[in-house]
Each structure stands twice: as structure tokens, then as C-alpha cells.
Amino acid sequence: MAQQMEIDFNVPKFLSEERQKAPAHLQQYFTTFEDLYERKLWHQLTLKIIEFFKEPESAPFQIRVFQNFVAEWESKINKLSLVTIALQAASQFNDLKDSVEFLNQIIAKVDEAGTKDVYVLAVMESANFKLKLGESDEVKKAIDESEKILDGFDSVETVIYASFYRVSAEYYKAKANYAQYYKSALLYLACVNIEELTSADRIERAYDLSLAALLGDMIYNFGELLMHPILDSLSGTEHDWLRSLLFAFNAGDIGKFEALEPHFTKQSLLQQNRAALSRKICLMSLIEAVFRRSTDNRSIPFSEIAAETRLPIEEVEHLVMKALSLNLIRGSIDQVDQIVVVTWVQPRVLDKDQIDGMRRKLEEWDNQVKKISSYVGEQGGEVFAQ
């Protein structure tokens, strides 16, 4: 068999041909590419490629530019930049399988000891395409592998964490794992500037996070979401009622919950889980009732809990046992006297109203201390020293 001769790729010819195909406002990029390439200014050329790929009308050129031009000098590119450029090109394939195959080649190039963090970025973005193909088992493997790698780093670039948490969140959303979705989605938002997300994306993420908070079995503290600016994306939209529902849950406001129940018809998941949501709002009401009390006044009669939660008094003990089993509170139940003694309540991220409540408690405590100080001073005379 005759040996095939390798012929050097004619970079200037390729760039000239692509320039002629490009819209007028993009043609100057190809001229700059050729100039920087010939002068071997790799860093400046990398930045120019990234700038070009951000142009919406560059989309039809991205795959060809990467495969025929960037591939010529990819060894000179910072690996994070290489993957960043490759990810943009991968999104241009019409067939998702082609995107995965393309990224597999990139993954192989960064699967080295010194670039394991960048490897995670490539693997997770490939997993994102696999998730769209329905290959959930492969996605879970990618998440597990990437998590172990990231645990070995003190820190990595924020874009890598953002990719990991975004794709993880999408996987857990597909699996209806509300608690894991809630955690991953919030961590993703901590890695990005939400102002750079589109309005539609912000609304979708706020909506999904709200549902996850409500439906997550182990989520009884909504403060972190309520204080996050992403939730404001629902204000003034058709989903504004969902935001109000979250605040009702966080405050344990059963009356407001019941007033908002008619909206459940707009979301089948809430309809299907109506009973679970009723149980959850009762638990939230119990937690809030305990939280509002001072630490020296947490012996609560069953009758008061029944009034707070709007439950029959015979169901109160079961509710408290549920709260104890979930470690939402700690304490004991006096079945004879029908009293619950609470010694601890789960720490919470407080919303503004709850913070104001804490302020009032501190003011009351301060006044009590002053009264005691004054009393002791009067009774002790000169023995007492201020």
C-alpha cells in the first residue's frame, strides 16, 4: 500500500476563502487571524478567536475555523482557552452525537495530570449533550468522576465549577431529585453573574428552584432562595404566585398557603403533591412557632400547636414526632400533660422579616438585662459595681 504523504495545510488560503464567505463586519477578523498567526502571537490570536466566536453571525464558521485553523496551533493555546473555544464549536453541530464525538477528541487532549480541572470542564459539557441524548447513566458517571477530581483541588476556575453544577442540576432535574437539584442549582448561581443570563433563563431557573424547594423532602429552609436576587425574576410574571407561596411556606403561614392553593392547577406537580405540601406547611408552621419563642419559653402545649398548625389536637403528637425524626427540632414530648419541650430548632437562613424579629428579641433581652442590673444595683447598694 502506498504511503500517504502529509501535505502542509495552507492556512493563508483557508483564511482567505473564509473571509470571502463571511459578512462584511466579520471579514476583518480573518485578516487579523492571518497576521497574528504569521507573527506567532499565540495569546493575542487566542483572544481574537474567542472574541470572534462570541459574534452571533460567526456560528456557521466556527466548526471549520476550529478544525482547520485552531487545530494547526492548538498546542500553543492555554488548555482552558482551548476547551472554551471547542465548546462553542461543539454547540454548532446539527447532530448531538457529532458534538459528543467532537468533544471526545478534546477530552483526550486534556486528560493529563496537569490539566485535570480543564478535563472536568470538557467532560461535564460532553455530559450535557449526552443528557439531551437520554444517556443518563453516562451523565451520572461523568458527575461522579468530576466530583472526585474537583474534591482534590483547593480551588479551580469559576467557569469549571459553574459547568459542573449547571450540568449536575440539569441531571437531577431530569431525575426529579428535587433536593439535589436545589443544592446544585443554587451553587451554580453562586458561580455566575445572573445579570449575564437571559431573562427567560432567569425566570426558568427561579421557577424550577421554587418547585424544588417546595417538593424537596428534606428542604425546610427556604431563606437562601428567598434572599437570592434570582427569585425577583418571578415578580410581575404569571409565576408571581409561586414566589408568594415560597414566602408563605417560609413563614409557616397556613392561611396564605390555603389562599394560594387554587393556583396549584397551573402546575401538575403541585397538584399531585398537594397532601405532601399540606404536611410540609404544618411542619413549617411548627418550626416558625418554636423559632418565634424565646429560649426560656419553649414548653408548648399541644393546644397551641394545634391552633398554629390548624390540625386536630390528636394529630399534634404525630406532627412533632415527624419534626423530631427530621431533626428539625430537638426536645421531648410529655404525653400526659400534652406538652412539647423544645431544646433546639434547626438553624435557618432568615428573611428580612425574620431578621427584624430577631432584632426585636435582642432589644427585649437588652431591656431585661438593664432591668436586672438596675434592680441588683438598688438592692445591693455599694456592694454592686456597675
Model confidence pLDDT, tens digit, residues 130-180: 999 999 999 999 999 999 999 999 999 999 999 999 999 999 999 999 999
How far apart, in Å, are the Cα atoms of 151 and each of 132, 262, 326, 331?
26, 45, 28, 36
Exposed, middle or buried, 324 (CB in 10 Å: 0-12/13-18/19+)?
middle
Residues pairing with 339 in the sheet: 301, 334
pLDDT at residue number 1: 36
Residue 257, number of CB atoms within 10 A of its CB: 22
pLDDT at residue number 327: 94
Whether 385 shows a pLDDT value over 60: the answer reads no
Whether 359 shows a pLDDT value over 70: the answer reads yes
Contact 37, 29 (CB under 8 A): no
Looking at per-residue pLDDT, the higher value among 76 and 376 belongs to 76
Exposed, middle or buried, 370 (CB in 10 Å: 0-12/13-18/19+)?
exposed
Whether 75 shows a pLDDT value over 60: the answer reads yes
pLDDT at residue number 5: 36
Q: What residues contact residue 272 under an 8 Å CB cut-off, 6+ apart?
A: none
| Mean pLDDT computed over 184-204 | 97
pLDDT per residue over 225-264, tens digit each?
A: 999 999 999 999 999 999 999 999 999 999 999 999 999 9
> What distance in Å separates the CA atoms of residue 253 and residue 259, rounded to the nearest whole number?
10
pLDDT per residue over 29-44, tens digit each?
A: 999 999 999 999 999 9
> What distance in Å separates the CA atoms of residue 339 and residue 332, rounded to the nearest whole number?
9
Q: What residues contact residue 81 under an 8 Å CB cut-off, 6+ apart?
A: 46, 50
Q: What residues contact residue 177 under an 8 Å CB cut-off, 6+ apart?
A: none
The amino acid that residue 88 corresponds to is Q
> What distance in Å separates the CA atoms of residue 58 and residue 37, rounded to the nearest whole number?
19
pLDDT at residue number 6: 42
pLDDT at residue number 363: 83
Whether 382 shows a pLDDT value over 70: the answer reads no
pLDDT at residue number 350: 67
Q: What mean pLDDT is reported for the chain?
A: 92
